[in-house]
């Protein structure tokens, strides 16, 4: 995805307020060998870009005065009640250096799993994103979690995932739970009553 930004020289609360009043969002790019760089982005375009999942989980091509560099969105602050992005932080990306970032999990086939179809189980998502390490070119937009074979009372863990080539989950030695299936008490009692 491409993002257009502008160099910003003034900093501080007053300068940021004037930028926002002019429809722009202050931001910063840091990391890599270069010094941190103050930038301004089109506030409306950034607000709508933040609604797209790919904007959060992709290496972005940021163009500043004709020069393009690769960055990752690291953080942003929203206004409490206005549709306004207050600030955005981006990190420079070196194509040869691994990056650590969070990738969204997409859950599929829940409605066809034995847990739901046969046992009326409820599937709970314990995690919605997974921290990974990979080279920037290998960064997936999302990771799919297939619930198609999940039985009632079972869980899916990080080790059960099929990660794209070159992508490693950062779980610090733990096999974290991603999703669980549980049969509600009422459904379990009704099933027992039918068997008698």
- Give the position of tokens 């086939």: 109
Locate 116 and state its tokens: 């739901």
H/E segment holding residue 167: none
Query: 96 forms bridges with which residues in the sheet?
Result: none
Q: For 3, phi and psi rounded to 5 degrees? A: -130, 135
Which H, E and C letters describe 133-164, residue by residue?
EECHHHCCCEEEEECCCCCCCCEEEHHHCCCC
With CA atoms as reference, report the closest residue to 175 among 161, 163, 162: 161
pLDDT digits 0-9 by tens, 49-88: 999 988 988 899 999 998 999 999 999 999 999 889 999 9
- Low-confidence stretches of the chain (pLDDT < 50) are 193, 196
H/E segment holding residue 169: strand 168-169
pLDDT number for residue 192: 53
């Amino acid at each position: 995805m491409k993002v257009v930004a502008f160099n910003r020289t003034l900093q501080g609360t007053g300068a940021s307020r004037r930028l926002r009043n002019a429809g722009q969002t202050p931001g910063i790019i840091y990391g890599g060998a270069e010094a941190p760089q103050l930038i301004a982005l089109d506030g409306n375009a950034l607000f709508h870009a933040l609604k797209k999942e790919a904007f959060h989980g992709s290496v972005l091509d940021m163009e500043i005065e004709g020069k393009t560099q690769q960055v990752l969105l690291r953080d942003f602050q929203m206004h409490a009640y206005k549709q306004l992005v207050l600030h955005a932080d981006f990190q420079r990306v070196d194509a040869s250096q691994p990056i650590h970032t969070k990738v969204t999990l997409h859950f599929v086939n829940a409605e066809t799993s034995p847990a739901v179809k046969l046992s009326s189980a409820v599937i709970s998502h314990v995690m919605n994103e997974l921290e990974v390490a990979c080279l920037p070119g290998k960064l997936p937009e999302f990771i799919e979690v297939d619930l198609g074979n999940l039985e009632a009372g079972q869980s899916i863990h990080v080790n059960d995932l099929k990660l794209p080539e070159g992508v490693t989950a950062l779980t610090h030695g733990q096999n974290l739970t991603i999703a669980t299936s549980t049969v509600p008490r009422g459904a379990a009692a009704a099933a027992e009553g039918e068997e008698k």
